[in-house]
Chain A
Amino acid sequence: MDYVPILILMALGLLLGGTVLIVSTLLGPKLPNKRKNQPFECGVPPVGDTRQRFSVRFYLVAILFLLFDVEAIFFFPFAVTFRKFLEINSFIIWEMGFFVGILLVGYWYVLKKGALEWE
């Protein structure tokens, strides 16, 4: 029952956004023109086909980002509760150091294998 305002907010948001889009589609003028239909390239006329192969480096960087981002996510619960654990003993710092150490080994492997080379 406490969460009904959130439901109402979601519904109103969908309603408003949907209404604006639908009304503008129905009532707006439709005058397509060759230059207006080109893909937007910050004012520069587009050159060539959009469907070209792009390098696998992007994928590698994205996957590595994902992995280290998940590591960062594991830091959050640690960061929130570690002061309370420090009152008992310092084990939690060593534990987190071990976790980071394992991931540093992985990072060193990635670095040396050249997965982060951009060229």
Chain B
Amino acid sequence: MNLPEHAPILAIAVPLLGAFALPLWAKLHRSLRDGWLALVAGATAALTALVAVQVYTTGIQVYTLGASFPADTVAPGGFPIRIILTVDALSAFMGLITALVAVVGFAYAWRYLAEDEGKTLALTLGTLLWAGMLGMAFTGDLFNLFVFFEVTSIAACGLVGYRTWASRGPEAAFKTMVMYTVGGLFVLLAVALLYGEYGALNLAYLARQIGGSLIDRIALALLLGGLLMKAGAVPLHMWAPDAYGEAPAQAVILLVANTQISLYALFRVLFTLYGGVPDPGVGWLVVALGTLTLLVAALMAVVQMDAGRLVAFGAVSQIGYMLLGVGVGLTAVAARPAYGLVAIQGGIFHMLNDAVAIGLLFLAVGAVERASGSRNLGTLGGLGHDLRWTTGFFLLGALALAGIPPLNGFASKLMIYQSSFLLSPILSALAILASILLLAVFVRAFQGAFLGPRLRKAEPVPVPMLVAMGVLALGVLALGLFPELVVRHLVAPAADALWTGRDLYLQAVLGR
């Protein structure tokens, strides 16, 4: 078998099937389960990396299911009815983010989750969520986008609510599930509208047909609504802090990656599917939602007393920065001034930075909860005496997220500030204001939990958890110290896929 050719579908199939085999191994022995998980996670990460290397070196990779050879995307009648995967640089970039987050999350979960508190279940759902995210990133047709959207929804809500012995988890999970399901149905309705009009589900074929009729606009509105619901942008964000606050820490970083994948799907819809109908109004809508998200979430974070919910609002606020960056690019995509490309690069780079920095914070909060049994900033204090490494990691993540210069959040936020300033100075002023608010919030949380006299005894944090946090902390430092390397080799091709890559995408699938 020709592995590189089949890597995109294997990257989805291996975690999907591996997840369902996980509970069977656990029935035999838990060390077998851990070994199997390491095998599946390692294979999936390697396959994702293989796909990424291929896409970054040779261009868009298509894979047709059920055809005689993988590049045969168009059925003999000349009509694109086949199920295809289309991986361009942006999809591959998102795949890499999910791989990083999932591997770090599983390493952390090894000692973080208690064996008698549904550890097997959590690991299974986490692997399923990973498979769904890779599917959303790689799929090339709209209906499978919906299917993988629902796979991630079910796995994510299971992860939020599986701890049924407490009431808060299921409550957050119910709220999240209703939002996700309704969002998914909006997406399905949009798919049905487009299918009814054009008789196809293939993203590239639809992109060529869409001409901006009333039905197209209604479908765009439904897709925007559904995907923003899942991304947790502000008018539809109420599920996000609950879910982030109640899920176990290793699941939260997967949930964060999941919101980013929904944003990816949104950008795919806006730039590739509707890229032929440039309407600056939609760009301004995305910019307005982004600005609203980053401001409102930062303001909400100020009043939180629970460390988990505080970081959760910080995470929602970061979604706003990504929307702002890519939205600025969308307003400019017709005229193509240079700042539009910088804005998109900033937004996409911020996805990676956010996954690393907010992931570090969530893992640190999880370590604090495990070590001291509480997350309430009113009762915590002086943890810095016992948990030296965790203290350092939390501080590093907080400073990176608030955009302090040598760290990674600054690198991408600067690109967003610069480019949104050229569109409208008010936007960058608001974005900087939100960053300052976040800095204040995180300094308060840091001071409340880690500084001061020792208020309660803290257990030592297990080494695998520290190693997982250490990997992310190294990422924070490396991305902050060498941003231009990462931007040039990883982010710029991904941004080009949105900025100028539409024709290449259509060509790769339709062949002309």
Tell whether A and B belong to one assembly: no
Which residues of B approach A to under 8 Å, CB–CB? Answer: none
